[in-house]
Structure 1
Amino acid sequence: MKSLSAFVLILVLLLAGSGCRIAILDCLESDATCNSRKLLGYLLLALPRTNVPDTGQLICSDDSGNPIPCSSVTFPGQDAFYFSTPAPISLAVNPSGLTVSDGTTGLIWQRCPRNAANDCSGAATTDLHGNQETYCAGLTLDGLQWRLPTLRELIYIANYELSAPSFDTAIFPQTITGLDLWSSTTFHFNGTDKWAITTSNATYAQ
C-alpha cells in the first residue's frame, strides 16, 4: 500500500442533509449494488442538490495539445468554451487561516498539510490510508468534525488550468507536486484499495 501525503485537503463532515447528498454521490461512484432503477432515483435526488464547480480550464487545444480558438468547429465543445459553467471555482480562506470554504459545493477543507504550522510552514507528512482516516476523524479544526473526502470531492477543488501542482497554492499552500492525495472512495475491482488524486495534474491514482 502506498504512503501518500497527509496534506489530504480534508473535508468537513456536514449536517445531515449534506451528508445524505454525499452518500448519494458515493453510491454513484462505487456501490456495485446500485441497479438502474436505484441509480435513476439517486440521480433525480442528487442533481438538484449538487453544484459542480468548473474545471478552471481557460485554453482550448487540438488533438496534439496545441492551443486553438475555443470557437473551433473541428474540436468543438471543450471545457474552456463553457467557462464557469455550471458554476465557477469559488474557494476562499476562512478567517482562522486553517480552513477553506468552497462557495459552490458548500464543503469546507483543511488548508495546511498535516503536522505543518498554522501558517502552513513545515514539511507535510505522508502516511497509509487507514492512518489518514484516523487522523481526519480526530481533527477539530475550527470546531468542526472531519472525514476523508471522496474522489469526486477532491476533483472538485482541482484547477485543470494549472499543473505541477493542479491546485491553487494561494489557497492550499504546500501542495506538494509528485505526491498523491488520499480519498475515501474504494477501488471496486478489489474492494480494498482506495483511489487517490495526483497533485501534479489532478489525474487518478490507485
Structure 2
Amino acid sequence: MWRMDAVLLVAVLALTVIGTLLVWSSTRTWAPGSTGLVKKHVLNVAIGLTLYSVVSMVDHRLLRAYAPLAYAVSIAGLVVVITPLGSTVNGSHSWVMLGAGFAVQPSEFAKLGLVLLMAMLMAQPAEGGDRPRGLDVTLGLAASAVVIGLVMLQPDLGTAMVVGVITASALVVAGVRKRWLAALGLAVITPTTMAVPRSG
C-alpha cells in the first residue's frame, strides 16, 4: 500500500521548486546559455522523487528490520573512504571512485542509515511510558558519534553538523529529556574538536 504524508510531500515539492529556480537563476548569470547544472539538478530531483515513491510503498516494519544492516553498511562505506581506496575532491577526502567517471560519497548513505537506525531506536518507548528507553537513546547517541567521528576524519565539518541536526531532531521528536540533548552536544563537539586541526 502506498503510504504518503501529504504535508511532507507538499513541503518537499515546494523546496524542490525553489531549489531548482535558485540553481537556474545562479547559473544563468555566470554561464549564459548553459543548462548543464540545471539538467543535472532536475535529474537528481527525479531520482529523489522516484525513491520517495518506492520507499513510501515499503512496509515500515521491513525498514525497521533492515535498519541495523543499513547502518552497518553505511559505516563500512565511511571506513573505506579513509583507506587508500578513498579519493579527495575539492579538498575533502570523502569520495570513492567507481570508474567510468562515477563516484559515490558514503557519508550521504550514512545519513540515511543513521535516520533509519534512530527511527528504530526512538520508536521503542520504555515500559509504562511514552519516551524511549535510556539504553536506546544511548545507542542512538553512540551511533551518531561513530558517524560524526568518521566523517570528521575526512574532514567534512558540514556533513558532521548535518548528522548532529539529524540526531537532535530524532531526540526532540521522541521527547527525550534535556540531558540527552546535552550528551548529543558532547558527541558532536568532541570528535569535531579532535579532527578540526587536520583541516588546517
More helix by share: 2
Structure with the larger strand share: 1
TM-score, with length taken from structure 1: 0.29
Higher relative contact order structure (alpha carbons within 8 Å, sequence separation ≥ 6): 1
Q: Which has the larger radius of gyration?
A: 2
